[in-house]
Amino acid sequence: MSAPTGLRPQGRGGSQLLTGRLLLLGLLALVAEVFLFAALAQLAHHYAGGGVRGVVVAVLVLLAAAVAWVVFMAPPAARRLALFPRVAVCAVLGLALGGALAAAGWTLWGTVVVLAGIVLALVQWSMGRASA
């Protein structure tokens, strides 16, 4: 059997290297995820009142979000959501976080986060359809 397009077998352990289109999609997903997590941290810090309390709340919110992401969204997750719910989560997160940022006065950053959510949803859809 040949490896799917964009995957190259590596070593005896069965791990694979992403190449070509899948590498580009993976990098886009990573950047979009970083934007979403950064937006979440900024909003948590802002709505906690800033300062030390804001930093503590932002760290706790980020930890909870990272655990949820690893359990339900990450590719190796045992309980990974099906394709359509994953796409919906990405789009809704982008819209909600971007809207909250815009409402808090960070309009440009909010727009970037909305676009990041849309890009992440499209990447999830594209990669999910390719692996199906």
101 or 8: whose pLDDT is higher?
101
Domain segments of the chain as ranges: 25-131
User: What pLDDT sits at residue 21?
Assistant: 83
What is the percent of the chain with per-residue pLDDT over 70, rounded to a whole number?
Answer: 84
Let me know if 67 is exposed, middle or buried by CB neighbors in 10 A (0-12, 13-18, 19+): exposed
Question: Which residue is associated with the tokens 């359809």?
Answer: 129
Q: What confidence tens digit (pLDDT) does each residue in 53-88 have?
A: 999 999 999 999 999 999 999 888 889 999 999 999
pLDDT tens profile 79-126: 999 999 999 999 999 999 999 999 999 999 999 999 999 999 999 999
Give which of 49, 39, 44 is closest to 60, Cα–Cα: 44
Which residue stretches of 73-106 are H helix?
A: 83-103
DSSP H helical segments within the chain, as ranges? 20-47, 51-72, 83-103, 107-131
